[in-house]
Amino acid sequence: MKIKRLISIVACWLALYTASGQIQWKQVEPGVWKGMVGKPEAYSLLGVSGAAPLKEGFKLLPEVGLPAMASGVVSRIEAGKAMLRLPLRKEEQLYGFGLNFQTVHQRGKILNLHVDHYGGKDTGRTHAPVPFYVSSAGYGVFINSARYLTVYAGSAARKDSPEKPVAKDRNTDKSWSSQQYSDAVEILIPAEGVEIYLFAGPTPLDVIRRYNLLCGGGTLPPRWGLGFTQRTQKLYDAVQVEKEAEEFEEKGYPLDFIGLEPGWQSKAYPCSFEWDKGRFPDAEAFVGRMRKKGVRINLWTNPYVSPASGIYKDMYPYSGSHTVWCGIVPDWGMEQARRIWTDKLEKEHITIGVSGYKIDEVDGYDRYIWPDVATFPSGLSAEQLRQTYGLWVQRITADIYKKHNQRTFGLVRASNGGGNSFPYVLYNDYYSHRDFITALVNSGFCGVLWTPEVRSSKSAEDWLRRFQSVVFSPMAMINAWASGTKPWTFPEVAEQVREYALLRMQMIPYWYSEFAKYHFEGTPPFRAMNLEPGFESGRATYKEEVKNKNLEDNPYLEAVGKEVKDQYMAGEYLLVAPMFERETQRTVVLPKGNWYDFYTGEYAGNGEVITVKPGLDRIPVYVKDGAIIPMMEPKLHAPKAGEKINLEIRHYGMAESSYRLYDDDGETFNYENGAYSWRSVTVSRTPEGKLKGNIGRAKKGYPDNIGKVTWRFMTN
């Protein structure tokens, strides 16, 4: 009896302890700790993604201890909800919380992380509302929950806080602000418990690397995925698609894959996943002919099953209670549903050579998606499926390609935490060029890729400006499903468009190496200036300012943050500063260190804000001192496995430096078994003070695909 009593006391104490209080942190990977609050749900983001940590990658990162803030993290379970509080210091800025389109600085924000189409404001409802954030202080936090989370990212003040701000009289005190200083991030998780991951740096970029590595490393696209892609008009038939590919070839525009929009399917919205026999009478032959032209085929679909589809009857019992456009909604929590879809896609598309998918409408939009009251046979809630539907479709399709030892690279409209290694790029219907760039900036904070796709334009200027941007992004794409626009649609800029399309191709060795670093080391190929060493000093301060003091327009005197959200880093060395329609000049913030013009090699500045007037022909791109950019000859298709290429290796600035050039077959997963090579490229000074380049050999036993190497010292 005494033991029983003791047990019950201990149980009671344990229950209380887990119900409220500090968190026990357990190191799971170097610089990554896991904490448990309450009873974490079995169904989680990492569980759905199936990501396994890329352990090798952690070895390249510095050894670090548990971040000091860890001891200040407290939790509480109340009425079936977990609440977290994570301390903040005054000088910290926060980044991340998913794919935001208008803001980079997240401190002070309130976000409801909810998979959704982007509605024009950074509210947390977005295509990838990844519950991960990184602090400028060099730590990061990931909440492994497939629930709708509410985040107070340093916006709420507690009356018992030791750092609580002092009340001001708004009547007389001009420094009154509607925003109270807050010393914590608070998060509401509508579940009885949750797993939290804490990442150390030391730098914010190291934090992101650890997050990406925990989630399997970033994706390594096939080499052709980094070429150019065009999506054809929605009702194009096989003949029209072939003709379009021929036109690209004739006009000298590069093209690696063509995306077919809904018309390839016999029924769309909801979908049959079956070829339309009218428009594509012999799909296999068509895909084969296209492949011979060097052009792969990507297929649009959404996952909602048409009653006319061959799998409708089989899928019916494994689908949710509600329909989307009268299509049933597969319950991916059921193995049977995944198998039925896998078999269908494999049989209809993948075995005949289709290279990948564009998977639409998995983000939802409340107006058409299943409601939160829907039920699913797996017992998962509508909310859990909404948060993970994008992960599931990526995982299912990626697994098929993996089985075929064939890489894919496609488009998807929703993702979430853990999806880092899936070979997909996010996109949406929104079409603000400026906000597309901010999304590209933020994609690097949350383990996703984003394309600022070009769709159509009302002017040649806008067309060219958008095209110049997309060339410096994970997927260089024209999405002409509705407009039918082609790269040469605006004759007055057709040549400039071609020039940039070819520049994209020339840079493939650089892009491919940078993606390899994303995969093996976790470094996002496209990322915010905030992650660049020497950037902070290049800009004013963290201080935010009240821009509009008119009380009737801005009654609560909200400050607007000073953020740099219209320029970004592309790979190790490039700083890209897009131009927007009707702008002839812009400012560019250059971090500390010498920066050079990408096109001319001329010195541009150092830790300063410069104003540039590049003219319509140029998107401003700057290069770090010592940058080594490997480029190949302009080709209309990305090099095939084993295809020899000639390199022009550019060096910028005055510094001696080195670069690691990656190579593998570019198409299979053999790199996972060591079939790849990192080649060392160095530039050093001769005793006479002249710069001289040297390129190392491929790994022993690995084929050497490099032909002629030319060195070009851009500065001097």
Q: Is the peptide bond before 202 cis (omega within 30 degrees of 0)?
A: yes
Which position among 187, 238, 501, 631 is part of the footprint of a second copy (CB under 8 A)? 187
Interacting residues with a second copy between 71 and 90 (CB under 8 A):
78-80, 83, 85
Tell me if 300 sits within 8 A of 481, measured CB to CB: yes
| C-alpha closest to that of 570 among 255, 95, 130, 226 | 226
Residue placing its CB nearer to a second copy in the complex, 382 or 579: 382
Interacting residues with a second copy between 553 and 572 (CB under 8 A):
555-556, 558
239 binds a second copy (CB under 8 A): no
171 binds a second copy (CB under 8 A): yes
Q: At what angle do helices 335-345 and 382-403 cross, to 10 degrees?
A: 40
Q: How far is Cα 501 from Cα 252, in angstroms, rounded to an integer?
A: 10
Residue placing its CB nearer to a second copy in the complex, 85 or 679: 85
Tell me if 85 sits within 8 A of 186, measured CB to CB: yes
643 binds a second copy (CB under 8 A): no
The pair of structure tokens assigned to 415 is: 């993702």
The pair of structure tokens assigned to 328 is: 């049933």
DSSP for 576-626? E----TT-S-EEEEPPSSEEEETTT--EEEESSEEEE---TT---EEEETT
Residue 678 DSSP SS3: strand
**Candidate segments 97-105, 133-141, 221-229, 359-367, binder of a second copy by CB under 8 A:** 359-367
HSE (side-chain half, CA atoms, 13 Å) at 662: 25
276 binds a second copy (CB under 8 A): yes
Interacting residues with a second copy between 244 and 263 (CB under 8 A):
262-263
HSE (side-chain half, CA atoms, 13 Å) at 152: 19
Which position among 406, 456, 489, 668 is part of the footprint of a second copy (CB under 8 A)? 456
Q: How far is Cα 456 from Cα 480, in angstroms, rounded to an integer?
A: 7
Under DSSP, the state recorded for 458 is S
**Candidate segments 183-191, 631-639, 645-653, 693-701, binder of a second copy by CB under 8 A:** 183-191
Q: How far is the CB of 314 from a second copy (least distance, A)?
A: 15
Q: How far is the CB of 170 from a second copy (least distance, A)?
A: 4
180 binds a second copy (CB under 8 A): yes
102 binds a second copy (CB under 8 A): no
Residue placing its CB nearer to a second copy in the complex, 91 or 552: 552
Interacting residues with a second copy between 130 and 169 (CB under 8 A):
150, 152, 155-160, 164-169
365 binds a second copy (CB under 8 A): yes
Which position among 22, 459, 483, 684 is part of the footprint of a second copy (CB under 8 A)? 483
Residue placing its CB nearer to a second copy in the complex, 13 or 316: 316
Interacting residues of 552 by C-beta distance below 8 A, sequence separation 6+ = none
Q: What mask, x for binding a second copy by CB under 8 A, covers residues 367 to 386?
A: xx-xxxxxx-----x-----
Q: What mask, x for binding a second copy by CB under 8 A, covers residues 573 to 612?
A: ----------------------------------------
Interacting residues of 284 by C-beta distance below 8 A, sequence separation 6+ = 352, 353
235 binds a second copy (CB under 8 A): yes
175 binds a second copy (CB under 8 A): no
Interacting residues with a second copy between 314 and 353 (CB under 8 A):
316, 319-328
Q: How far is the CB of 262 from a second copy (least distance, A)?
A: 6
Total of chain residues touching a second copy, rule CB under 8 A:
79
| C-alpha closest to that of 522 among 203, 295, 246 | 203
Cβ–Cβ contacts within 10 Å for residue 53, how many? 18
Under DSSP, the state recorded for 349 is I
Tell me if 463 sits within 8 A of 493, measured CB to CB: yes
Interacting residues of 273 by C-beta distance below 8 A, sequence separation 6+ = 265, 301, 305, 309, 311, 341, 344, 345, 348, 349
Which position among 270, 419, 423, 525 is part of the footprint of a second copy (CB under 8 A)? 270
Residue placing its CB nearer to a second copy in the complex, 40 or 571: 40
Which position among 66, 74, 188, 641 is part of the footprint of a second copy (CB under 8 A)? 188
Residue placing its CB nearer to a second copy in the complex, 246 or 372: 372
